[in-house]
Structure 1
């Protein structure tokens, strides 16, 4: 996803708002589970891999 720059001054609204929503949910997940950032990153990677394999 390196082609996306999540600077809100350069990114279209839907991509920026999606990024913010996902980050907010990750913050909530971290607070609820006390997991490490690395565990959330691994969780997000597993979601991405699932999408690659199975599509949406």
Structure 2
């Protein structure tokens, strides 16, 4: 993880924490709805990350 995402940063740790929890909750719902494997979700998240790296938000 890059230096930018230090979890002890009191100015932004709450935002990062809540985002992490929200994404995890949605992944759990996706898994329940689709009966997919964890590896499928990891592949999806990597694909999303790569798309953001390539094209920005």
TM over 0.5: yes
TM-score range for the pair, normalised by the shorter chain length: 0.7 to 0.9
* Structure 1: gaps of 5 or more residues: none
Number of residues of Structure 1 aligned to a counterpart in Structure 2: 52
1:25-47 CA distance string (max 9 Å, x none): 00000000000000000000000
Q: Which has the higher contact order (CA 8 A, sep 6+)?
A: 1
User: TM-score, normalised on structure 2?
Assistant: 0.82
Q: How far did residue 5 of structure 1 move?
A: 5.9
RMSD: 1.5
> Which of the pair is proportionally richer in helix?
2
Runs of 4+ in 1 over 6 A off after TM superposition: none
* Structure 2: gaps of 5 or more residues: none
